[in-house]
Structure 1
């Protein structure tokens, strides 16, 4: 789901970061190597497959000097199979002034589009489409933190991003943390304290990383996760999006889940309009997707004008229904604190936030995810802002960076469940 800033341009007053990056380390692979899928995905999760020093980060503006690298790294998809993902690691040149190792923030971008041309690492390095979260990264770097920003799965050449697939997203986030410490010349310690931050699609990805951290990456020292505008219940969000101004996100979500579940009924359901919609969605990025599909109804894209409820009832060869696929990606199910025996044990504080006027993520969805975490006993802080979905992201930048700073400093968090 689209986060903020795409419509705000340079109006945000945020710390500036120098676009010029250093040339530390032996990372000299061609840019094409970062986005070329390997013949077989065999690298271990977090292992660096290819890397390239980045000489310019225009999306960040000017100010703090940094070293930066694009990196292709091993990961795991939502079905437990080896996968390959790209991302960006950025480290301030100035020595860390705090105690211990320099902290690392794994940043999860909001909706950018589902085609490889929309990859966050490409946009950060100047292949501008409509990325909007440079101010978020600038604020983190100004605070002295290293940043590891995953593109997410499905952004290599010829791929399609598995939009809203929780396990794919969570694994990609945790593995970019591993890759950052294995990247030659980064100076990121494998023992560094790690914060995770994301809004909208990034809010979902960051919470999935929180839920999967203990089982998937127990060695990663996560101390806090900040997640805003979270689409925690896909069914509720789909109902709100269908026929509305942000229906393009629903189109992306349906395509994304068809990528992760290729045996489920999809292509055979589409009419000519639906096949055109798929091609258009894969060729556009965030703003183009919103414009192209404003007011679209999912029923118009199938031969039998299937409603969402009718689509949920369809099943694949093993009996799994589309409704079950959607519900598998629901956040807050099976969570609990450390030692609880829950499926997803979360042993660190969580910040959740949303705009009070959010027109993309229904209030019941945001509040439902919050209640699920609170009821399960996970240490949770909740914050709301006066803006809508587009404004909720920039309004939270200062508070989110301060909240992560407090976690790195070991200060107690006073939850407000």
Structure 2
């Protein structure tokens, strides 16, 4: 999130530091007129393979109007159980011709924490001018690269985001790239070089996308991944937030998201008190800035029927869901990875991020791990120049460095 906006809304820097931060079978987007509510998914969904467009509409994004045209899309993807779902997102198509060698590169940008309210969808906030990821979008477009941004699962009308559910995030991010091929003017084809990139929740989503790309989206020509501030072990992150100055709302986001992604397997509601259920209902209407300002120094036990977060997490079903969402134990990416983390990150523990890097090094990934200055929110900004430089080198085919021993 842009620090000036956060500072104005939250009021002090500590709070600001917490922002977590050929598959498309149709050659052209659907021609049917969009309903009054673009985000209302058809029921039942029309048949479609992952990445197939359901509907589109032009979008006006003032910050990028000189460098790209924007299109809001609804497309098919798959949830954590591999069921067909409708997902929304944004395609930024550069307006200037590509003068570089080969096909124009595209970046699949996975966004950081938005909030669980429907109004928080990145595609809506891009149009409103409030989206926290405008800075990296602008930096990527300045290189002449195309950019796509998924809203992730859960921002269609009446739904709830499956926050930090890794498989769902990976599917929606990868299918966003597939969807771009059906937007007129993008030039996206099987020859298009792609990179995944993200920070915080987005770093987790981009890492998951890189991990699952060989099995889920082998048709995409993925060149590299850049993942910053990665919540690789969501159980570790959730427990570390308990009682922190600004973390309880984010902890509850994660629990709500996992319950939504794994119905019947993650019994959050059964463990909440009446006050906890009221808080859950409120959180589902909020964007992240409001959430960060509302729950200082709270613990899970303040909202449960008595259980601590450690006791809740020890339940077999809960522990199983956490295990399924631990990126450290999933297949390693097959492309080079730049992974970075803020030196003073008070939201996502650096230890579990280092554990991810060690696992990927052991698996033979050619990866660089770097520590950048600042706290959590500063890490996205301080890490952005190196991220863009890494992408430039990978798209150019230059030799890939590594920090693996």
Q: Which runs of 5+ in 1 are unaligned?
A: 10-23, 316-320, 337-345
Tell me, yes or no, if the aligned pair for 2:239 and 2:310 is still in contact at 8 Å. Answer: no
Equivalent residue in structure 1 for 2:381, among 394, 398, 401: 394
Q: Deviations over 1:184-216 (max 9, x none)?
A: 333322320001110000000000000100000
User: When the two structures are superposed, what TM-score results if normalisation uses the length of structure 2?
Assistant: 0.90
Contact 2:241 2:251 in 1 (8 A): yes
Match of 2:347 among 353, 360, 367: 360
Give the Cα separation in 2 of the matches to 1:297 and 1:362: 18
Structure 2 matches for 1:283-322, cutoff 5 A?
283-303=285-305, 305-315=306-316, 321-322=317-318
Cα distance in 2 for partners of 1:372, 1:233 equals: 12
- Provide closer, same or farther for how the CA distance between residues 412 and 8 of structure 1 changes in structure 2, counting only shifts above 3 A: farther
- The change in CA–CA distance for 1:294 and 1:61 in structure 2 (over 3 A counts) is farther
How far did 1:47 drift?
0.2
SS of residue in 1 equivalent to 2:181: helix
CA shift at 1:256, angstroms?
A: 0.4
How far does the alpha carbon of each residue in 1:48-105 deviate from its partner, in whole angstroms, 9 at most, with x for none?
0000111x213x366x331110000000111111111000000111000101111110
Q: 2:40 aligns with which of 36, 42, 50?
A: 36
Residues 172-321 of structure 1: pairs in structure 2 closer than 5 A: 172-244=172-244, 245-264=246-265, 265-303=267-305, 305-315=306-316, 321=317
* Deviation (angstroms), 1:404: 0.8
Query: How far, CA to CA, are the matches of 2:221 and 2:272 in structure 1?
Result: 45
Name structure 2 gaps, 5 residues minimum.
Answer: 9-27
Question: 26-35 or 175-184: which moved more?
Answer: 26-35
Quote how far apart the aligned CAs of 1:136 are: 0.3
- Structure 1 distance, partners of 2:6, 2:291, is 14
Alpha-carbon shift at residue 235 of structure 1 (Å): 1.7
Distance of aligned partners of 1:3 and 1:135 in 2 relative to their CA distance in 1, 3 Å threshold: closer
Q: TM-score scaled to structure 1, two decimals?
A: 0.87
Number of the residue aligned with 1:50: 55
The 1:400–1:127 alpha-carbon spacing in structure 2 relative to 1, beyond 3 Å, is closer
Q: Deviations over 1:27-63 (max 9, x none)?
A: 7854745311121344210000000111x213x366x
CA contact (8 A) 1:25 1:186 kept: no
CA distance in 2 between partners of 1:164 and 1:77 (Å): 12
- Asked whether the 8 Å contact 2:328–2:356 carries over to 1, the reply is yes
Q: Deviations over 1:340-390 (max 9, x none)?
A: xxxxxx321011001100000112111111111112211111121110101
Equivalent-residue separation in structure 1 for 2:39 and 2:148 (angstroms): 17
Change in CA separation of 1:388 and 1:5 when aligned onto 2, cut-off 3 Å: farther
Cα distance between partner residues in 2 of 1:334 and 1:35: 32
Change in CA separation of 1:31 and 1:126 when aligned onto 2, cut-off 3 Å: farther
Distance 1:145 1:127 in 2: 21
- Aligned partner of 2:123 in structure 1 is 121
2:327 alignment partner, SS class: coil
Give how far 1:4 is off. 6.6
Q: Matched residues in 2 for 1:234 and 1:179: separation? A: 29
Could you give the per-residue CA deviations for residues 159-198 of structure 1, whole angstroms, max 9, x where no partner exists? 1100010000000010000000112333322320001110
- Whole-Å separation in 2 of the counterparts to 1:252 and 1:26: 34
With over 3 angstroms needed to count, the CA separation of the structure-2 counterparts of 1:28 and 1:137, relative to structure 1, is farther
Q: How far, CA to CA, are the matches of 1:27 and 1:225 in structure 2?
A: 34
